[in-house]
Each structure stands twice: as C-alpha cells, then as structure tokens.
Amino acid sequence: MQNIISILVQNQPGVLVRVAGMFSRRGFNIDSLTVGVTQDPEYSRITVTVRGNHTFMNQIKYQLEKLVEVAAVQILPKENSVARGMALIKVNAGDKRGELLKLSEVFRASVVDITDTAITFEITGDESKIEAFANVLTPYGILETIRAGLVALERGENTIYKVEESDEYEQNVL
C-alpha cells in the first residue's frame, strides 16, 4: 500500500541528505520525493511516498523523529488528504495535432510547448489521472516524460505544524 509522509524540517544544507540517508540505511525504498520551502523560510517540507504496512510506517516515523533537524512528521491518510502530482509529456504531433489537443482538453492538460513535430503537455492531478493521460497518449508516440513527486496536505484545518503534546492541548511547532 502506498503511503504519503509529510516531514517538516529545518531549512538548512544537508538536511535532505540526512533524511534520505535514513531511508537508505534501513533499506526503505522511496517511490517519490518532493521538497519545498514552507511559508516560514526557516522550514522546508519534504513529501515522501513509500509502500508499506502500518508497522512499517510507524517505524519510518519513529526513525525520522530521531533526526535533530526534523520538527514534525505526519503520515497522511489517503481518505483525509489532498495529493497532486505533475508530469510533462512530449508527444509526436504530426497530422494528429487536433486529436491531441482535444484529448488534452478532456484531461485538463495544458500545452506548454508546441512545434511542427511535437507537443509538450503539462498535467497535474492524482497519480491515476496522470497515468491515464499517458496511456491515452502512448499510441501517438511519447517522445519524453518527466514526473514530479507528489505534494500533499491533510484536508481541513489540521496542519503539520500542530504536534499533539497530550490529549489536553496542542503545541504549534512554528
């Protein structure tokens, strides 16, 4: 089962290496990884997708929380989170340009580059939408594809910044 882990870390050189190193040392495979600065420039958020059961996920969380630069770790439940990926897909255009443009409308993909012989599309959405668009484009001749890792947030007002200290109150990380 694929899981999404959101990790709030200090925005310092070498932190990503330490986080990725923890996964590597323990033999945990990363399916995707995305990093970006948060609204507070002192912190970055690392979003990692991994496959594993509940016990495996708790072990990862425990190991991440041991790292000094990690401020918070949140395992995002699929049913209560919003996750999006992005892909750029370059396709042979040829005489099928009109068909390709209609397909892009159906999937709400954007044209980011167009030449006499090729069209490059940008698509965002969940993994199944991106995969479906790529599958539809395959017969036209995909020239090149690149995908970005998922970005994700928990739905509602809960944030990674709130760390439960006890049942009585919550403390804000920032």
**pLDDT band per the 50, 70, 90 thresholds, residue 174:** low
Query: What CATH number was assigned to the domain covering residues 2-76?
Result: 3.30.70.260
Query: What pLDDT digit, counting tens, does each position of 28-84 carry?
Result: 899 999 999 999 999 999 999 999 888 989 999 999 999 999 999 999 988 888 999
Q: Is the pLDDT of residue 137 over 60?
A: yes
Predicted confidence (pLDDT) at residue 170 exceeds the cutoff of 90: no
Residue with tokens 């997708």: 49
Q: Length of the chain, please?
A: 174
pLDDT digits (tens, 9 = 90+) for 93-136: 989 999 999 999 999 999 999 999 999 999 999 989 999 999 99
The class level of CATH for 82-153 reads alpha beta
Indicate the domain borders of the chain.
2-76, 82-153
How far apart are alpha carbons 128 and 144 in whole angstroms?
19
Classify residue 100 by burial, with Cβ atoms within 10 Å: 0-12, 13-18, 19+. Answer: buried
pLDDT of residue 164: 42
Measured CA to CA, the distance from residue 121 to residue 164 in angstroms comes to: 42
